């Protein structure tokens, strides 16, 4: 490791500026905390407001970095092995949108799995590109989608010359990884860039027991939510680029379309510190976290009604992040299990599913957190044994989500079309104006421009009935929907 990785240029300069006694006649209006309500200042402390500074001359400029931001991005590029790294203060959401704007012109096609995050659809609407959806491998036992099979990608690429880029989600929310090396080689055989939404995999680079990082696997653009699995503040993310299939200029210009011109230095400094922490101690910290999970994983599997998702080699399931624990719950649905854990047992998971719960373990997870999880799951299991089953999870029909609906209009045309509200039963067969997805994990079931199928409605109704949350629809009970008025 290069000893320069101990440096934190943004954080250091920010601390100096925060502590200087320059009189602040600039944004933000709280003027180093002087205008903040005293109650908030007592709660959050003074330092955070003093460091909440704008792009002062000594703090560089995110859109044209040549000072401390440039230095910090170069250190991050070295740590993650990219040719160029961009810091993002608008989340991976911005990074995913930008990656599509950078490689697609209006009318181009992008090959994407159906279980993309909604930011991909935003990127398609803004760029005017069209999706070519491929079905990811489906785990019927858990009712969740995994990665994409190499054969599925190969078939699409061989038959559709309009495809201009390949975008995959790797890892999935559940930590499941596709065979990214083969997918990168395949994409490059057609001279297409591979974009990897690695929102949940920023840590992969820093421990050999973790799945291969997408950049090392050959991806051209990789987007990571540094805030999801590492220690950056919420929304702080990075976009890494490698090779010359993508224009750096076009990417930088696209960033200016979607990012704020007032980037938060709290976020930027947290990216700088998170990089330093991982580059200098990542292997140690992540190794300890992996050991912690291994200790409880086998214990969890001894609990009645609960089993963990384990690695089984099959298409679309090439590797599994050991730091992601997904448990399959029998006897009650995942949303009820989540409610019991969160409200009664003091354990909050990342993601409840119809029949599963997903827990994120990071270098910030302690031994005592792991013990509480184990105890909580045992108590949950006892509760399940005592409960009169009000909902039978086996009555869910996962098959409803295995067919890709017909695309009638591009996401962009549907977004800009005149729309109207109709009841869900009237909506069947019409073209959706909405992007409706259960959140989390943000996997769209109905997309703008797609014909609304009976199955899609039935699937969403199952989620509502089970206590899940839908976003993007006119009402959360799914009584009415937005359709294109033609
Ligand atoms: C797979 C995936 N991609 C992208 C995003 C967007 O990331 P961010 O929250 O950093 O904007 C998420 C967020 O949940 C995600 O799960």
What string of H, E and C letters represents the secondary structure of the chain? CCHHHHCCHHHHHHHHHHHCCCCCCCCCCCCCCCCCCHHHHHHHCCHHHHCCCCCCHHHCCCCCCCCHHHHHHHHHHHHHCCCEEEEECCHHHHHHHHHHHHHCCCCCEEEEECCCCHHHHHHHHHHCCEEEEECCCEECCCCEECCCCHHHHHHHHHHCCCEEEEEEECCCCCCEECCHHHHHHHHHHCCCCEEEECCCCCCHHHCCCCCCCHHHHCCCEEEECHHHHCCCCCCCEEEEECCCCCCHHHHHHHHHHHCCCCCCHHHHHHHHHHHHHHHHHHHHHHHHHHHHHHHHHHHHCCCCCEEECCCCCECCECEECCCEEEEEECCCCHHHHHHHHHHHCCCCCCEECCCEEEEECCCCCCHHHHHHHHHHHHHHHHHHHHCCCCCCHHHCCHHHHCCCCCECCCHHHHHHCCEEEEEHHHHCCCEECCCEEECCCCCCCECCCEECCHHHHHHHHHHHHCCCCEECCCCCCCCEEEEECC
94 Cα nearest atom in ligand 1 = 11
* Ligand 1 centroid, distance to 404 Cα (angstroms): 22
Whole-number pLDDT of residue 401: 66
pLDDT in tens, the chain (486 residues): 899 999 999 999 999 999 999 999 999 999 999 999 999 999 999 999 999 999 999 999 999 999 999 999 999 999 999 999 999 999 999 999 999 999 999 999 999 998 899 899 999 999 999 999 998 888 777 778 899 999 999 999 999 999 999 999 999 999 999 999 999 999 999 999 999 999 999 999 999 999 999 999 999 999 999 999 999 999 999 999 999 999 999 999 999 999 999 999 999 999 999 999 999 999 999 999 999 999 999 999 999 999 999 998 888 999 999 999 999 999 998 999 999 999 999 999 999 988 899 999 999 999 999 999 999 999 999 999 888 555 455 566 666 666 788 999 999 999 999 999 999 999 999 999 999 987 655 678 899 999 999 989 988 888 888 778 888 888 888 899 999 997
88 Cα nearest atom in ligand 1 = 10
The last residue of a domain, from among 393, 412, 443: 393
Q: What's the number of CA atoms in the CB half-sphere (13 Å) around residue 392?
A: 3
For 230, phi then psi, to 5°, come to -115, -165
Torsion sign across C-alpha atoms 98, 191, 138, 458: positive
Place of tokens 């973790």: 210
CB of 95 sitting under 6 A from ligand 1: no
227 Cα nearest atom in ligand 1 = 10
**pTM for the complete prediction?**
0.95
Q: Crossing angle of helices 118-127/91-103, nearest 10°?
A: 40
Whether 461 and 404 map to the same domain: the answer is yes
Q: Rounded to an integer, what distance in angstroms lies between the CA atom of residue 225 and that of residue 298?
A: 29
CB of 380 sitting under 6 A from ligand 1: no
Whether 343 and 465 map to the same domain: the answer is no
Whole-number pLDDT of residue 390: 53
Whether 308 and 229 map to the same domain: the answer is no
Q: Rounded to an integer, what distance in angstroms lies between the CA atom of residue 155 and that of residue 137?
A: 15
CATH code of the domain in which 421 resides: 3.90.100.10
Whether 334 and 450 map to the same domain: the answer is no
Return the residue whose CA atom lies nearest to atom 14 of ligand 1: 441
Place of tokens 């086996």: 394
* Ligand 1 centroid, distance to 225 Cα (angstroms): 7
Pocket test for ligand 1, best of 95, 119, 321 (most atoms within 8 A of CB): 119
Pocket test for ligand 1, best of 199, 260, 441, 444 (most atoms within 8 A of CB): 199
Place of tokens 């990089």: 275
CATH code of the domain in which 345 resides: 3.90.1150.10
In total, how many domains does the chain have? 3
CATH code of the domain in which 178 resides: 3.40.640.10
CB of 225 sitting under 6 A from ligand 1: yes
Condensed to tens digits (0 to 9), the pLDDT of residues 330-355 reads 999 899 999 999 999 999 999 998 88
CB of 443 sitting under 6 A from ligand 1: no
* Ligand 1 centroid, distance to 1 Cα (angstroms): 29
* Ligand 1 centroid, distance to 89 Cα (angstroms): 13
The last residue of a domain, from among 217, 246, 279: 279
Q: With CA atoms as reference, report the closest residue to 341 among 357, 364, 362.
A: 357
* Ligand 1 centroid, distance to 92 Cα (angstroms): 6
Whether 425 and 470 map to the same domain: the answer is yes
CB of 172 sitting under 6 A from ligand 1: no
Cβ partners under 8 Å of residue 331, min gap 6: 305, 384, 385, 387, 389, 393
Cβ partners under 8 Å of residue 475, min gap 6: none
CB of 120 sitting under 6 A from ligand 1: no
Whether 297 and 363 map to the same domain: the answer is yes
Whether 387 and 420 map to the same domain: the answer is no
Q: With CA atoms as reference, report the closest residue to 340 among 349, 330, 350.
A: 349
Whole-number pLDDT of residue 86: 98
Token code pair at residue 12? 């250091």
Whether 265 and 302 map to the same domain: the answer is no
Whether 268 and 289 map to the same domain: the answer is no
The last residue of a domain, from among 226, 259, 279: 279
Whether 167 and 257 map to the same domain: the answer is yes
172 Cα nearest atom in ligand 1 = 1
Q: Rounded to an integer, what distance in angstroms lies between the CA atom of residue 201 and that of residue 173?
A: 10
Whether 144 and 70 map to the same domain: the answer is yes
Q: Which domain holds residue 344?
A: 283-393
Token code pair at residue 398? 């996962």
Whether 406 and 316 map to the same domain: the answer is no
Condensed to tens digits (0 to 9), the pLDDT of residues 54-87 reads 999 999 999 999 999 999 999 999 999 999 999 9
* Ligand 1 centroid, distance to 118 Cα (angstroms): 8
Distances (CA, A) of 401 to 319, 375, 397: 24, 34, 9
């Amino acid at each position: 490791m290069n000893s320069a990785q101990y440096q934190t240029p943004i954080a250091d300069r920010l601390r100096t500026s925060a502590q200087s006694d320059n009189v602040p006649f600039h944004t933000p209006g709280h003027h180093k905390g002087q205008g903040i309500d005293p109650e908030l200042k007592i709660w959050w402390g003074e330092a955070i407001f003093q460091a909440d500074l704008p792009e002062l001359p000594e703090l560089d400029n995110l859109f044209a970095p040549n000072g401390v931001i440039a230095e910090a991005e170069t250190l991050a590029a070295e740590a993650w092995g990219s040719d160029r790294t961009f810091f993002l203060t608008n989340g991976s959401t911005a990074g995913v949108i930008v990656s599509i704007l950078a490689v697609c012109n209006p009318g181009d096609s992008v090959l994407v799995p159906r279980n993309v995050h909604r930011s991909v659809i935003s990127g398609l609407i803004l760029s005017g590109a069209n999706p070519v959806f491929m079905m990811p491998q489906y785990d019927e036992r858990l009712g969740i989608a995994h990665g994409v099979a190499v054969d599925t990608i190969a078939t699409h690429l061989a038959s559709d010359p309009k495809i201009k880029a390949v975008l995959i989600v790797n890892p999935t929310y559940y930590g499941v990884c596709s065979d990214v090396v083969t997918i990168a080689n395949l994409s490059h055989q057609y001279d297409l860039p591979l974009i990897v939404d690695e929102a949940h995999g920023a840590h992969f680079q820093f421990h050999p027991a973790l799945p291969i990082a997408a950049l090392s696997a050959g991806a051209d653009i990789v987007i990571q939510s540094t805030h999801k699995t590492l220690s950056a503040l919420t929304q702080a993310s990075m976009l890494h680029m490698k090779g010359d299939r993508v224009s750096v200029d076009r990417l930088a210009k696209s960033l200016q379309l979607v990012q704020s011109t007032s980037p938060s230095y709290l976020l930027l400094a947290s990216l700088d510190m998170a990089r330093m922490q991982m580059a200098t101690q990542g292997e140690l910290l992540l190794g300890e976290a992996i050991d912690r999970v291994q200790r409880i994983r086998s214990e969890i599997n001894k609990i009645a009604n609960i089993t963990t998702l384990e690695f089984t080699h099959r298409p679309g399931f090439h590797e599994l992040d050991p730091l992601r624990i997904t448990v399959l719950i029998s006897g009650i649905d995942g949303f009820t299990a989540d409610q019991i854990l969160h409200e009664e047992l003091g354990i909050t998971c990342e993601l409840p599913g119809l029949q599963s719960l997903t827990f994120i373990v990071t270098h910030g997870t302690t031994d005592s957190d792991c013990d509480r999880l184990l105890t909580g799951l045992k108590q949950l299991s006892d509760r399940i044994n005592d409960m009169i089953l009000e909902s039978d999870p086996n009555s869910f029909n996962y098959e409803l989500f295995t067919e890709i609906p017909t695309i009638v209009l591009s996401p962009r045309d549907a977004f800009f079309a005149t729309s109207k509200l109709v009841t869900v039963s009237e909506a069947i067969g019409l073209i959706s104006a909405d992007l409706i997805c259960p959140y989390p994990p943000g996997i769209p079931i109905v997309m703008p421009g797609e014909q609304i199928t009976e199955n899609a409605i039935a699937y969403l109704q199952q989620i509502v009935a089970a206590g899940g949350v839908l976003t993007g629809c006119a009402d959360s009970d799914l009584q009415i929907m937005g359709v294109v008025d033609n």
